[in-house]
C-alpha cells in the first residue's frame, strides 16, 4: 500500500498534476439573501472568505452595491465589489488579478444580455471560467443565476421575454423567477417543447440549487412556498419535477 501511494506521489510530482478542486456554482431565482450568503461561506471552507460582488447587470448600480454591503456587514466575510465601469486611471490591477484572488464571486441581477456582452468584451467570461476551475465558488440570483447555464429566458430586450445565451458552465437551460412573472413558466415550457432549450432547472424567487462539479448537490429555499424544479420533455409532454428543498433560516 505504501509503495502504491509513493508511486502516485511521484507521478503527480513529475507530471505537474494536482488534485482537482471541487467546483461549486450556486444559482438562485432572486436575491441575494443573508441565508444564501451563509451557504456560500460554507462552500468556501474558509472562516472569513473573500467574497466579491459583481454588479455588472445593474450597470454597477450604487443602490445594489450599498445593498450588498448592508447584507454582509455582520457576516464573517471580507467583502468587495468589482465594477466594470472603470478606467486604467482608477484601477491598477486586472480583472483577472482581482477575481482570481477571491474565495467566492456573487453576481447581481439586472440585464443578463448586456452583462454577458460586457464580460466578453472585457475577458471576464474567461476569468470566471478560470475561477471555477480554481475552486472559487460562483453564485448569484436572477441574471446572476441565468449566466451560469447554457441558455434561458430573459427580460433583457424590449417588448417581451426572449432567449439569452449564458456562459454554459452548467450544461442545462434555466428559468429564474419561475413563480413571480406570468409568462416565465409557460414560455420556458414552450422552449423546451420546441427543442430551443435542453431540459433544465427552474427556480422560484427565494429558492436555489447548489451544483457540485456540474450536478445538483443541495437544493435550498427560504421557506416551503418557494421551490426549484427540473423541467424536461417525456413522450412529447412537459414534466415538471419539484425538488426536495432544505429550508434555510436567517
User: Distance between CA atoms of 184 and 126, rounded to whole angstroms?
Assistant: 29
Rounded CA separation 118/124 (Å):
8
Residue 245 CB coordination number (10 Å): 20
Do the beta carbons of residue 167 and residue 133 sit within 8 Å?
Answer: no
Strand 149-154 to 170-175 pairing: parallel
**CB 203 within 8 Å of CB 29:** yes
CA-to-CA separations, 249 to 206, 226, 236, in angstroms, rounded: 12, 14, 39
CA-angle at 24, arms to 239 and 129, nearest 5° = 105
Annotated active-site residue 226? The verdict is: no
Catalytic annotation present for 228: no
Of the candidates 177, 189, 206, 226, the residue annotated as catalytic is 177
Provide CB contacts within 8 A for 88, sequence distance 6+: none
Kindly name the residue from 33, 142, 156, 245 that is annotated as catalytic: 142
Could you tell me where the beta strands, DSSP code E, fall in 62-121?
A: 78-81, 104-107
Report the catalytic residues. 142, 177
Amino acid at each position: 500500500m505504501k509503495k502504491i501511494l509513493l508511486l502516485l506521489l511521484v507521478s503527480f510530482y513529475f507530471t505537474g498534476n494536482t488534485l482537482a478542486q471541487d467546483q461549486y456554482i450556486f444559482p438562485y431565482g432572486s436575491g441575494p439573501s443573508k441565508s444564501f450568503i451563509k451557504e456560500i461561506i460554507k462552500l468556501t471552507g474558509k472562516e472569513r472568505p473573500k467574497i466579491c460582488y459583481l454588479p455588472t447587470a445593474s450597470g454597477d448600480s450604487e443602490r445594489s452595491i450599498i445593498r450588498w454591503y448592508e447584507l454582509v456587514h455582520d457576516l464573517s466575510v471580507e467583502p468587495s465589489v468589482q465594477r466594470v465601469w472603470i478606467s486604467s486611471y482608477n484601477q491598477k490591477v486586472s480583472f483577472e488579478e482581482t477575481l482570481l484572488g477571491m474565495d467566492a464571486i456573487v453576481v447581481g441581477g439586472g440585464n443578463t444580455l448586456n452583462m454577458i456582452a460586457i464580460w466578453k468584451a472585457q475577458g471576464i467570461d474567461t476569468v470566471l471560467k478560470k475561477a471555477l476551475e480554481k475552486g472559487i465558488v460562483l453564485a448569484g440570483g436572477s441574471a446572476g443565476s441565468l449566466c451560469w447555464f447554457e441558455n434561458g429566458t430573459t427580460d433583457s430586450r424590449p417588448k417581451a421575454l426572449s432567449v439569452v445565451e449564458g456562459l454554459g458552465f452548467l450544461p442545462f437551460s434555466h428559468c429564474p423567477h419561475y413563480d413571480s412573472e406570468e409568462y416565465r413558466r409557460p414560455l420556458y415550457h414552450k422552449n423546451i417543447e420546441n427543442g430551443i432549450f435542453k431540459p433544465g432547472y427552474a427556480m422560484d424567487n427565494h429558492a436555489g440549487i447548489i451544483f457540485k462539479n456540474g450536478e445538483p448537490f443541495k437544493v435550498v429555499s427560504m421557506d416551503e412556498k418557494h421551490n426549484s424544479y427540473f423541467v424536461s420533455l417525456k413522450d412529447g409532454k412537459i414534466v415538471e419535477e419539484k425538488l426536495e428543498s432544505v429550508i434555510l433560516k436567517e
